[in-house]
Structure 1
């Protein structure tokens, strides 16, 4: 896939991704039929576009590969935590540590400053060289909110092979998109036809 390909051109956002930035984040790696993958954070330029589109960086941000790699690393740790939650398994200590490191990497609240002329004021520091740290902290905090909030009970992985996206279940829907639902139904129908044909 070309670098200009976006996940939205392949699949619409998964249910819940508009509500939880962490879902949009983990779903930036997309498994497609035929062993194809799209990684919306696959290059520094693509990572910069994603950060800008999601309000995590100013337009024109210059992302270096080291920063893109740090985001991809956090994404895998958040994916591991979501996977553990969905499967009802213990969380990986390394993934918990990575998310907590991102959470504590920057102040979560506005710090106290003192201006010589105007006196005390509060502000969250965010010079341009700390954009990545803030993005990591925001994404980690959102993942923690999702995992500890009431919507965690609705968190599932898409049940259409080979899709690897996560979503919040609505009713009986277990797929991240209409396309995945159609593929899952077609696979079930094929399996039924195959078993019926061999048992007769």
Structure 2
């Protein structure tokens, strides 16, 4: 069973995260050696911080657990689509639907509501809900753009187990970070030494 870790610093951004916030979102669930995980969206406060750092929410947005759960759910759908693309297999229809739903859920005008006593009226969604919906739509649109762009050919999973992050491959680089590259090289060297015995 994976044990969550919260007191560990996040690794540096993987190649492509700066240009694609959806890639950064996919990489907010980080598998660490020893069966530990680091979830950068583990709490509403962490979610608010992550969104704020990417310009998708104000510092005082006041995220609730429901908002954080929606973002974690979108993350899993995006991860599913990225994995399917990187592996060259068909995507799960539910993941495609989730991305499309997120892109289309942001109202462009106050919505019509009907109260049995006072009749029809128009209202905007709750401010925090509107912030989250806009962030979800932005991230989903970025994922759709990445998956349908020429850059999708470079989308790959980090080549250093147990890491589960994604990156846009650049040259011969197959790892999301120097740390993962060092870990992979050390594992290869260890395997060669034990093979020679």
Q: TM-score, normalised by structure 2?
A: 0.86
Unaligned segments of structure 1, at least 5 residues: 112-124
Task: Quote the residue 1:178 is aligned against.
Answer: 178
Provide the residue aligned with 1:74 in structure 2: 74
Total equivalences in the alignment: 179
Matched, 1:13 2:17: no
SS in 1 for 2:135: helix
CA distance in 2, matches of 1:193, 1:25: 38
Alpha-carbon separation, structure 1, partners of 2:31 and 2:195: 27
- Residue 27 of structure 2: aligned partner: 27
Alignment partners' CA distance in 2, 1:149 and 1:32: 30
CA distance in 1, matches of 2:126, 2:139: 18
Give me the CA root mean square deviation: 1.7
Looking at structure 2, the residues matched to 84 and 16 of structure 1 have their Cα atoms a distance apart, in angstroms, of 18
Instruction: Work out which of the residue numbers 2, 6, 14 in structure 2 matches 1:2.
Output: 6
Question: Aligned partners of 1:29, 1:6: CA distance in 2, in Å?
Answer: 13
The gaps in structure 2 that reach 5 residues or longer are 110-123
Give the TM-score normalised by structure 1: 0.85
SS at match of 1:37: strand
